[in-house]
Amino acid sequence: MKLVRYWSVRNARWLRWVYKALEACLVALHPVLDRLGYQRIDGTFAAVEKLVKGFLFDSQSCGQCSLGETGMACPMNCPKTLRNGPCGGVRSNGHCEVDPDMVCVWVTSWEGSRRIGNLETGIQVIQPPVDVRHKGTSAWLRAVRRKSGVSES
Ligand code: SF4
């Protein structure tokens, strides 16, 4: 829902703090998660993520979350799924050229990044192309594995 999505961007600062705290907890739990088996628990985590992030951010469950770097605005809501800044069609009122009823994802991303205070270190980080094979899988567990030095199988 767009209203909730916009609210999340207005509250990006503390939401990102919660997000980072959750990530730190999960990284600390890596030995437990590893014992349980990342493959085995992925479906459960992905379902929780879909519920939480779907409600707050209209997350499209790409499995490669960049919310922390994009001002808590999900770039997959861009009709062109652009992950590194806006196209050339942003309307003069900041709305999307494809969906005039929607504020351009990158306008909200800039606003969220400004609120977080990471215009230099977040939104300007180049995001890799989306790997569609990860769609529907847990981005949280992927981030935990990456931070724990575990390569993906
Ligand atoms: S105007 Fe913004 S949201 Fe719309 S297609 Fe272009 S970059 Fe994506």
Stretch 8-22: mean pLDDT, rounded? 95
**pLDDT tops 60 at residue 128:** yes
- pLDDT bracket for residue 152 (50, 70, 90): low
Q: Indicate if ligand 1 lies below 6 Å from the C-beta of 2.
A: no
Q: Indicate if ligand 1 lies below 6 Å from the C-beta of 122.
A: no
Full DSSP string of 71-130: TT--GGGSTT--SSS--TT--TTSB-SS-TTSB-HHHHHHHHHHHHT-TTTTTTSPPPPP
Question: For the CA atoms of the chain, what is the radius of gyration?
Answer: 16
Nearest CA to ligand 1 atom 1: 96
**pLDDT tops 80 at residue 104:** yes
Among the atoms of ligand 1, which is closest to the Cα of residue 106?
2
**pLDDT tops 60 at residue 153:** no
Spatial CA neighbour of 67 closest among 145, 143, 146, 151: 143
Spatial distance between the Cα atoms of 105 and 18, rounded to a whole number of angstroms: 22
The domains of the chain are located at 2-147
Buried residues in 75-107 as b, exposed as e (16+ CB within 10 A): bbbbeeeebebbeeebeeeeebeeeeebbbbbb
Q: Indicate if ligand 1 lies below 6 Å from the C-beta of 80.
A: yes
Spatial CA neighbour of 8 closest among 103, 80, 128, 124: 103
Q: Indicate if ligand 1 lies below 6 Å from the C-beta of 87.
A: yes
Max distance between CA atoms of the chain, in angstroms, equals: 53
Give the per-residue pLDDT at 59: 95
- pLDDT bracket for residue 150 (50, 70, 90): confident
